[in-house]
Every structure is written in structure tokens, then in C-alpha cells.
Chain A
């Protein structure tokens, strides 16, 4: 191997590590560290090298490398779709194959005495206080974004209580659910009415904010007749008003066919 091809070694090694990281590990951290370069950097870098790495400045090389990687991912997705499902394994194999194939071509170029030009990358010196400033600004920006998200999630413009009633998939019962999304803990009374008869009353269902209450009730379904089940929710302190109301109506057997 020509010495000039040796600068591809780290890139090929990185590609192999990325593929192994994506395919062999379940940890999201490992997969993220391995997977992001496989989508956003390595394919473009390999193709850029295979094209003889035209002489350009470092910013231009970086821009074209990332841009080409994204473009290659688009083509790769279209091609994969022709041959089967877009699964994680197939994605990893396809991106790795393209990258390693392009590096192979770049290696052949280098072997044929067409040296790849070096990209001059020289960052100006950064003093310690200035580096600290940069780090602090990133920390502040991330903290502001995170705080803003939690602040927005914690704030509830609408205070509400969810009431629902759904039939069990195999029939014979209904599930009634209550969820308290008010601004304070609340106490509820629940009335269950089947075919205009009150069949059950649950009093004093105390729920904290965000807490859920579920219960199942029997519901006659096997007689082939039409039935209606209704759940009425009352909020403690205002028992004269129905706070929420849900119902299910089941058709007679003949009407359903």
C-alpha cells in the first residue's frame, strides 16, 4: 500500500466502529455516538475522497462533506425501499457499504499515485478564559431551553377532568376511567346507569392531580338486544350538576349485520 493512502485508515476504522456500534449495541448513547457520523459525515467524506478530494478550504470541505452525506442518505433510502423494508439493520449495512465502497475507490486512487490533497485545518489559539466563556454560554443556552420546556409543561392553561367509557374488546364489560387534570386534588362521585336504571354509585373517588381511576362494570351484551350504558360524574361540592357524561349505545344483534 502506498503511504499516501494511509490517511484513509482512521476514516475506515471509524466507519467499521460506527457500524459495529449501531448493530451490536442497544445503548442509545453508544448508538447515537456511532450512528450520527454514519448518517451525517462518513458517507460524504468517503465520496469526497473518492472524487479525488478537490482542493478547497476546510469550511468548504466540511459543508460539502455533510451535504453529500445527507444527499447519499436520501438515495440510500430510495434504493432500500426498492428491495425491502427500511429496518435499522438494513440502514446500517447500506450506509456502511456505500462508505466503505467509496473509501476503497479513494484507496485505489491514492495507490495509483494521485495523492489526496490535505485539508489545511488550523484553528486560531483559544485562551482558557475565552474557552470557558464558550462553555458557559452553551451551558446557559441549554439550561434556558430545558427550563423553558419544563416551565411550559408544568403550566396548565386548561384545568379539566377526563371521563371515559369504553367497551372491553370481548364484550361483557365496560371500562370507566377518570383522570384528574385539574389544578388541585379533587373528589368525585360516579353514577353508572344501564338501560335507564342506576346500577352502581361510587362516592368519594379522591384523585390527586394527574392521578387516574379505572373500574370495570358488567354490561349485558349476549342477549342480542339494544343496550345503553351511561356514566355520570359529579364533582364534590357541586353534586347537583353533572360534571361529565359519557355513554355507550349497543345496537340490537340484527341491526349490526
Chain B
């Protein structure tokens, strides 16, 4: 029988619908499989391997050889052969690729995983030393060096620091460093070196134990630690002598103490509280922002535990821990007179304004991969950083639902006003998943002019959530329990790219080797000539004179020179036009008088270029200073002033003694 056209159309419709359903089903299944919705993770630690040294010795040797390559690449001397950037990248790849490939391998023992993590941390620490051969080199390191030096000289705490007025009020880091100096007799740099090394090893071991307690898998924990090392703060900033470096170790120790309580049925909440309390107290006197973040995360954890229907006594214990943390953070703030609001509020206000501007206009105030002086990172560096970020985003996408599944999150239907209820079994993992969702915000912050530093500072905390979620994606989807070496190498390569991306981002600009002096570029501006000039002031003029200088020489003067430097932050006097102005007018004379200046320390190299970090002196300075580099004749205008002496000249740095002029200004002459 022949089908009528109408029946044929019905048949066509039916076939189309079936085909549509089939394709939709395939797409849905693919999406479910990609996202891991409802997919259980195969036991990550199936059959724990027997403890052995495994590849630790061989990979340590490999790491040492890689460090030699990196040292050659960082050498300031030009050498024939491959470009130094190639040598540097080869060293980084050779260092991390075998290490992380071995760590992700399913049958690696827990002992070996921990050992390899410690090797990675030691290698990163050595890398930091290789990048700063003169001792302290990072901007923040100088700020805390100045505070520690004051404690050693005056033998008391809370002495003012013009470079960072809040630093002496959070003296945890400096107390421990100066304790080592006092007890051992080592110089401050060596003591700080030992302290930061110990703190890094404790941090990574505590982080591993924390992740292990939450995920109940040493493999997941080890992979999560590797991913954590890929955050831009880890390779350089958190190894530097800075209060955040020690504070984050205290934070992880406190969280570890609290998390282990529930992981072990034999422990009591009380004991966990007692163990976590000293770390929270030490954290409160070490770093303000980290202490507030710890309190916030504990409060969030308490809420999660409450809504997750944790037994009442456990919720009370968590609430008590949150209250303890908040009490310490708030209490210390009150004791020191709450300078934090003044310190952080302008940054936060600017951050919110920039964030709103970015979201409403979609025009980033800060171009990615471009330094403030306009120098653009090379394509290979940009690509590595971009791919690293994309890999993290992919990991988050693929790990999110898998992590929820591992946390025992389930949606239940129920009767009543609210028809569904969400339940979970692993409160800490739920907390970390929530923390991971803040990752896009930190990325957006980095595109703003005012909030990029906040995004930078939040990064390490957000990575505490990002790391386990991405690790779950790796164990649940990317590699699973496969022992295929090619698959392991692909995962190893991906993790190496995330680590390299972190190092390249931490570099803070284009990687140009051999490294040469740049105008106001922190680490790249610290070199022997400036150091010797600062030391000269101490040897020939004595200490504690009041100096006006640029951002870099302020650091050198207050540490190597042990002088007092005038800053807008501390003295509320803007001295930028005193140096850059074309004449010595009333504004400049008033600045001299207000700040009681003794000497001007003028670095003529500022005339060569705009500042790489966007400021010649400090944030908040007049933007007109950045139109063009200053004129030499403006910097040297004091040559013509009768009451001003010029006691030092090395061809690049000139020193003016303005104390007699300031005296006569005070006398009204």
C-alpha cells in the first residue's frame, strides 16, 4: 500500500524526533561524562603501595642538574650557545616534568609522593635563591628586613617603619627571624633563609596532610599540592621574607588541626581546638588579611556543618573555633589601634570601583601580559601562562561535579514547603569546592588597576579550593588509574605547564635573560652600585638621617644604609615633585620643611625610562609623573642652591645635603 503524503510526513516527523532524541541523548551523555555528573571516582588509592624511596634519589639528581641549567640561564654573563631563555625554559621543564609525572603515577607510594613534593619545594626554593643572588631582593623582603633590623638594633618591638607602617604592628615573622639571630648569632639574611626554608617545608607537608585528611587519598593530596604550587604566589612571593609567607603556614596548620579531628574518631573536638588555637593566635599577630580570611573560611565551614546536619556538638565546636579565630584577629587589631582599616580601605574601595567599571564596560584597566611601562611579554611566555590558566579552568570544569560527588553531595526530594534538600557527607571538601568557585573573581581582579594586588593576594587562598578540585579531575578523568605511560606523560606535561605558568606569572613581566637593570623594577633594579651607595651613607654620614629618594633606593637606604626614609604613607608628605619639579618653588620648599629632610639621594638612571612597575616613588603619586621620564636638569636643580652641598657622586647617583637649607627654612630665612 502506498503511503499518502500525510502519512509520509508523520513518518518523517517521527524519524526526525527519534534522530533528535538520539543526538540529544548522545550530547547529554557526552556532557555528563565530560563533567562527571554522577560519576563515582575509582578508589584513588586502590592498593596502597609499599613505602619505598622509589624515584626520589634519581629525581633529586635530575632536579639538581636542572638547577645547574637554570643557574647558567640566570647568569648575568653572556655565554655562547642557545639563547638563555631557551636554557631557562628547558631547565624548568626538565625539573618538573619527571617529578610530577611520577607523582601522578597511580602506584607511587605515599612515602615517595611526600618525598617528591619536598624535592619540588626544595628546587623552587633554590630557584628563588638563584634569582636573588645578592640576598634579599623582593620589594616586600626589604620592608620586613627594615622592621627586623629595627628590632635587632633597638631590642624591642613596634618601632615605626616608614616603608610599611603596618609591618611592625604584625611582627610575628620578624620575632621569629630575630629570635634565630639572637640565639644562633647568624646574620639576619641567613636566619631569614633558614626560617623561610623551614616554613616552606612545614607548609607543603601540612597542606598535603590537610588535603589527605579531606579526600582520604594520598594521591589526590599529592596532585593537589602540585597544582597548588602552580599559583603565582607560590614560586617566589611566598618563599620570600614576607609576613604572608609565614601566615599562610599558620593558616594551613590550624586547618589541619581542625580537620584531623573529624577524620579520627578517637580524637575529641576539644583537642583539635586546643591544637588549632595557638596557630590562629600566632596568625593573628603575623598577618592581618590572612587572619581575616581564616576567620571567614572557618565561619563558612561552620555554616556548611550546620546545614550539612553535622551533630550538634561538632557544630558548636566549629563555631567555637571560628569565634576563637575572630577573637584573636579582632583582639589584636584593637590592641594595636586598628591601623588596618586605614591601610586596606583605599585598596578595597578602588578595587570595588574598578571591578564595577570592568563588569559594566568590559574594558580592562590593566592589559594582561603588559607591564605598566608598556613592555609586552614574549609570545611563548604569554602562551604558557594562557594555556596554564586554560588547563586550570578545564580542570575546574571537569572536577567540579566529580568533587561534589566525592563530597557526598546529593539532592533529595522531600515533602514540605521546600521540595528538595541538599545533603553532603564531607563538610571540608564542600568548603574547598565553594572556595574554588571564587577563582574567576581573582582572575577578574587581576584585570583591574586597583584590585590586581588583592586578586594576587587572594590567589593562594582560592587555590586551596582550586587544587583539590582540579586534582579530582585528573584522578577521575584525565588519568584515572591508567598505567599507560603516554597518558601519564600527557598529564605530567599539563601539570608542568601549570607550574611553569605560575613561575612565569610570578616573574612579574617579560622574561629577559640575561637580566639587566630596569628603572623601578624591584628585583631588576637591585644591583651592587645602588647597594654600595646606600652602604656609603651609613659608613660616612652615620645612621638615622632623613632621606628622600625613589622607590628602590628607599629600600636600600633603610636597610643597607639604616637611614630613615620619607614616604607619603608614613609622613603624609609628597616629595615626588621635590625631585622631579623643574624649579625649587614654594611647594618643594614646603615639602623639605614638612618632612625635615636631611639628604636627597638622586638616581639619575630614572631619566632613562618610565618605571616598569608604574610608580617612581609609591602608589598614589601624581599620574603626571608618568608622562615622560624626568629631565636630568630637574633632578640636578639643587646644584644651583647656595645652601645645598653635594657630598657624593658616582656618576649615576648623586647625594645632596639639604639639612642647612631646611634649618634656614625653619628659622624663617
Contact = CB atoms under 8 A, between A and B. Distances in A.
Partners in one complex: yes
Interface of A: 22, 26, 28, 31-32, 34-36, 38-40, 51, 54-56, 59-60, 62-64, 66-68, 70-78, 81, 85-88, 91-92, 95, 122, 124, 126, 130-131, 133-134, 136-138, 140-141, 144-145, 147-149, 151-153, 155-158, 160-166, 177, 181, 243-249, 251, 255-257
5 contacts: A54-B267, A63-B256, A88-B182, A136-B64, A140-B67
B51 interface: yes
Contacts of A32: 184-186
B460 to A, nearest CB: 18
B77 A151 contact: yes
A63 B60 contact: no
Given A148-B130, A249-B643, A137 B182 contact: no
By secondary structure, the B interface counts as helix
Interface stretch (B359-367, B398-406, B477-485, B646-654): B646-654
Interface string B234-265: 00000000000010011001001100100010
Contacts of B533: 162
A255 B660 CA distance: 9
A76 to B, nearest CB: 7
A74 B205 CA distance: 21
Interface stretch (B139-147, B173-181, B548-556, B609-617): B173-181
A166 B540 contact: yes
A141 B64 CA distance: 5
Of listed A54, A62, A141, residue having the most chain B CB within 10 A: A141
B107 to A, nearest CB: 15
B50 to A, nearest CB: 8
Interface stretch (B275-283, B428-436, B500-508): B275-283
B216 to A, nearest CB: 14
Contacts of A95: 179, 183
B660 A256 contact: yes
A36 B275 CA distance: 23
Contact of B527 (A131, A141, A158, A246): A158
B177 to A, nearest CB: 10
A145 B285 CA distance: 33
Given A141-B64, A163-B650, A51 B175 contact: no
B122 A141 contact: yes
Nearest to A71: B282
Nearest to A70: B176
A55 B266 contact: yes
Given A134-B57, A138-B64, A256-B663, A60 B176 contact: no
Contacts of A256: 660, 663
Contact of A67 (B126, B130, B194, B249): B249
A136 B63 CA distance: 11
A133 B541 contact: no
B660 A249 contact: yes
Of listed B271, B517, B649, residue having the most chain A CB within 10 A: B649
B649 A51 contact: no
A136 B61 contact: yes
Nearest to A127: B53
B342 to A, nearest CB: 23
A63 to B, nearest CB: 5
A134 B65 CA distance: 12
Contacts of A36: 180, 183-184, 194
A237 to B, nearest CB: 16
Contacts of B199: 70
Return the 5 tightest CB-CB contacts between A and B, nearest first: A77-B175, A85-B155, A35-B183, A35-B184, A133-B57
Given A39-B180, A86-B182, A255-B669, A74 B60 contact: no
A62 B208 CA distance: 13
Contacts of A75: 278, 281-282
